Amino acid sequence: MQIIKSVSSMQKTALSLKKKGRSISFVPTMGYLHEGHLRLVDIAREYGDIVVVSIFVNPTQFGPKEDLSRYPRDIKGDLSKLRKRGTDIVFMPDSDSIYPSEYQTYIEVTEISKPLCGRFRPGHFRGVATVVAKLFNIVMPDTAVFGKKDYQQYLLIRKMTEDLNMPVRIIGAETVREEDGLAMSSRNSYLSKEERGISARFADSLYIASGLYRKGKFSSPSMITRFVRDYLKKFRGIRVQYVDILNASNLKPVSDFSQDMVLAAAVFVGKTRLIDNRLLKARCQ
Ligand code: PAF
């Protein structure tokens, strides 16, 4: 496994791989890797000859009151997991090489950034779009794999590549869950034992709601979001930030079940913010 730290060597390596006709599959990460990330690496392997994983905790996607300095890091552990999983190249730039002083160019995907997490994390998706575009220019992947746990991020990257004619195929990977249903996330490591226990109820709320939807128990999208809120009210220790149902491809509001939808929510368990979602298929009216 090759470890590359400089932007120019990553670009040179990517160009030389391309010259040799090797395709590049890419998994961008912020490190502190768990099984969810490693599944993305497995999927990337199916799509390309060379798998590149980046580890970069991107400062521009954290708000001023968010957890950039507290974000968990374990480079040694990450490299060992990636080596075992057969990663070819790990790209680990430092912050100054990605954002040198006087840096001033940003990308905004205007509409998809607005609802859900965008309402509560101003500037977050601008930071995500910008760093992913930069990483695409450096790693030059043919394919890039993103987890659907961050569903809004996945749609945003898809839209950005389409709008900016970036020659990168975006693959969305299913959410990987712990045994009790909690979606895997690096932030789960912040949870105390007691908080970890109660966090599974958050995953349950969306799972149960999607099951009831499939059985035809709801007559409108707002009934579903009300069900999730009422369900979560029973658990002291879970504070809802949002619960919403939107069109699954453009995140526009829906008023009936005629389109595929995403049921998405964010909660706080203690100080830790968790997000999750379930896709709901359109139903003939
Ligand atoms: O999903 C993440 O870990 C990050 O948002 C990403 C895509 C690596 C960009 O920093």
**Looking at the DSSP assignment, which residues form a beta bridge with residue 19?**
none
* pLDDT tens, position by position, 151-180: 999 999 999 999 999 999 999 999 999 999
Please give the domain boundaries of the chain with CATH numbers for all domains.
2-173 (3.40.50.620), 186-279 (3.30.1300.10)
Whole-number pLDDT of residue 284:
76
Please identify every residue annotated as catalytic: 37
Amino acid occupying residue 45: R
Protein residues with CB under 6 Å of any ligand 1 atom = 28-30, 58, 61, 128, 131-132, 150, 153
Q: For residues 22 and 5, what is the distance between their CA atoms, to the nearest angstrom?
A: 21
Amino acid occupying residue 176: V
Hey, whose CA ends up nearest to atom 1 of ligand 1? 29
Whole-number pLDDT of residue 285:
61
Whole-number pLDDT of residue 65:
84
Whole-number pLDDT of residue 40:
98
Closest CA to 228 of 270, 171, 266: 266
Q: How far is the CA of 29 from the centre of ligand 1 (A)?
A: 5
Q: How far is the CA of 136 from the centre of ligand 1 (A)?
A: 12
Hey, whose CA ends up nearest to atom 2 of ligand 1? 29
* pLDDT tens, position by position, 238-273: 999 999 999 999 999 999 999 999 999 999 999 999
Cβ within 8 Å of residue 205, ≥6 positions away: 228, 231, 232, 265
Hey, whose CA ends up nearest to atom 9 of ligand 1? 128
Tokens (6 digits) for 256: 């009936």
Closest ligand 1 atom to 54 CA: 8
The widest CA-to-CA distance across the chain, in whole angstroms, is: 59
Closest ligand 1 atom to 132 CA: 9
Q: For residues 196 and 74, what is the distance between their CA atoms, to the nearest angstrom?
A: 21
Closest ligand 1 atom to 150 CA: 1
* pLDDT tens, position by position, 13-39: 999 999 999 999 999 999 999 999 999
